[in-house]
């Protein structure tokens, strides 16, 4: 990174990109990446890296478009045609309910390590806590708290992996050679990539959060892109780190993650306590809980803000409506998400797999929307994607479409 860019970036200017990282480092990392390492060792590390690379231009659109035009991606979709924004809003509504349910159940599962209640009741407590935080504190609280949680989680995970490497936990105790590339595993591969590093509609959250950040301070285009790149790089590195933790500690042990939310949470914490000591168990459990709680908060906030803004744009209401409308959207998404949690009855992994697969199948459309916007006349020429970014985008689209078709064949023939 050039020195002049580093000099222009202050800690206060960071925020939207870090929030995006907090949203990403949730189920995709704690569950999917860790499970990939635990079940298949290092076989899928290249797939984790590849999906982060090919999705980059679609995520970067959020920060780059807003920095170039001072408009959100949602406004950009509308500028291209009302149908573009309607398509986004419809898919985003479905994703909002499913994603809220997924991250909320995972938070409730981790909370079982501290409170002996059922996941359904804990999920309700989690949702109410998130809503209280968002309604009373709004963006400012979310911005400040997330930076601290992200730092603690990053340090804890790096320490755990370093200890695992030094203790040579990689030697399997049971001779298992699970092949990740068997036809039966296509569903898991697609699920893992669906939320790796996050659903692509998160690019719109980054766009909206950047506009919100600009209400309190001036953010230059260089600062916005730097903030995004820092957050995105953090998510990519930590995805590999979480996979490494699963591969070093659990792979070859003969143990598999339970589909029960409470048991899965206990197994996840065991990965850390096995290398950091039993005394660290509750500390690690607290850090993991705070991490996924921050993800739940950002998921509710991000989906609600984008749905609220989309509704206003579609109804030609550019003025700021009362915050009660945003609150109503948050309450609706949370209620429907809780209903989905009750439907799955505490079965965490099946719910997360359903949500991640849904995310992957809609990823192609969200990616196409962002690519068309970043190459359109609605963005200044010098801010449009050049040859390299367009090439990477088309490679990414082919990659995503190919796996989506492969999944459909697998699903129809299984």
Among 37-46, 146-155, 310-319, the least confident range:
146-155
* pLDDT given at position 387: 93
- Per-residue pLDDT tens over the stretch 164-215: 777 754 444 444 557 888 888 898 899 889 888 888 888 888 888 788 777 7
Q: Quote the tokens at residue 202.
A: 């998160």
Q: Which domain holds residue 203?
A: 3-413
> Is it the case that residue 3 has pLDDT exceeding 60?
no
CA-nearest of 30, 344, 352, 367 to 188 is: 352
Mean pLDDT of 96-110: 91
Tell me what pLDDT residue 413 has.
87
pLDDT band (50, 70, 90) for residue 10: very low
CATH classification at residue 303: 1.20.1740.10
pLDDT digits over 327-354, tens only?
A: 899 999 999 999 999 998 878 888 888 8
Reduced to 3 states, what is the DSSP secondary structure of residue 260?
A: strand
Q: Which two tokens stand for residue 186?
A: 């296509």
Which pLDDT band holds residue 83 (cuts at 50, 70, 90)? very high
Q: How much is the pTM?
A: 0.85
Number of structural domains (the chain) is 1
Indicate the pLDDT class of residue 2, thresholds 50, 70 and 90.
very low
Name the 3-class secondary structure at 129: helix
Distance CA 304, CA 319 (A): 17
Q: What share of the chain is helix, strand, coil (3-state, %, to 5)?
A: 80, 0, 20
Residue-wise pLDDT for 271-305, tens only, equals 778 777 777 788 778 878 877 887 888 889 889 98
Cα 230 to chain centroid distance, Å, stands at: 15
Mean pLDDT for the chain overall: 83
What mean pLDDT is predicted for residues 231-252?
86
* Residues ≥6 apart with Cβ < 8 Å to 226: 1, 5, 9, 17
DSSP state of 253: S
- At residue 74, the pLDDT reads 93
């Amino acid at each position: 990174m050039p020195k002049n860019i580093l000099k222009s970036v202050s800690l206060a200017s960071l925020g939207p990109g870090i929030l995006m990282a907090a949203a990403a480092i949730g189920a995709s990392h704690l569950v999917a990446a860790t499970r990939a390492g635990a079940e298949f060792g290092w076989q899928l590390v290249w797939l984790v890296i590849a999906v982060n690379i090919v999705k980059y231009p679609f995520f970067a659109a959020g920060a780059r478009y807003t920095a170039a035009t001072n408009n959100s991606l949602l406004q950009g979709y509308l500028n291209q045609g009302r149908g573009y924004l309607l398509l986004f809003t419809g898919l985003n509504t479905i994703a909002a309910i499913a994603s809220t349910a997924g991250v909320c159940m995972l938070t409730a599962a981790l909370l079982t390590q501290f409170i002996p209640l059922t996941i359904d009741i804990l999920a309700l407590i989690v949702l109410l806590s998130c809503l209280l935080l968002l309604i009373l504190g709004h963006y400012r609280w979310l911005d400040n708290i997330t930076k601290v949680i992200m730092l603690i989680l990053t340090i804890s995970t790096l320490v755990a992996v370093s200890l695992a490497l030094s203790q040579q936990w990689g030697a399997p105790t049971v001779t298992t050679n699970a092949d990740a590339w068997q036809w039966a595993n296509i569903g898991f591969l697609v699920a893992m990539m669906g939320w790796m590093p996050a659903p692509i509609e998160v690019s719109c959250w980054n766009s909206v959060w950047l506009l919100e950040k600009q209400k309190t301070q001036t953010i230059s285009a260089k600062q916005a892109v730097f903030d995004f790149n820092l957050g995105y790089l953090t998510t990519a590195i930590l995805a590999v780190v979480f996979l490494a933790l699963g591969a070093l500690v659990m792979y070859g042990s003969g143990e598999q993650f339970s589909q029960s939310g409470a048991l899965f949470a206990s197994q996840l914490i065991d990965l850390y306590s096995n290398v950091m000591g039993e005394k660290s168990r509750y500390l690690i459990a607290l850090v993991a809980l705070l991490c996924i709680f921050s993800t739940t908060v950002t998921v509710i906030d991000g989906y609600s803000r984008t749905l609220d803004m989309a509704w206003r744009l579609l109804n030609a209401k550019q003025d700021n409506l009362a915050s009660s409308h945003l609150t109503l959207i948050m309450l609706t998404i949370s209620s429907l998400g809780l209903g989905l949690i009750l439907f799955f009855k505490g079965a965490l992994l099946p719910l997360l797999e359903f949500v991640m697969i849904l995310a992957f199948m809609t990823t192609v459309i969200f990616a196409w929307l962002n690519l068309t916007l970043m190459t359109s006349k609605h963005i200044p020429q010098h801010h449009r994607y050049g040859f390299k970014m367009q090439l990477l985008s088309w490679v990414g689209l082919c990659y995503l479409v190919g796996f989506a078709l492969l999944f459909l064949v697998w699903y129809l023939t299984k």
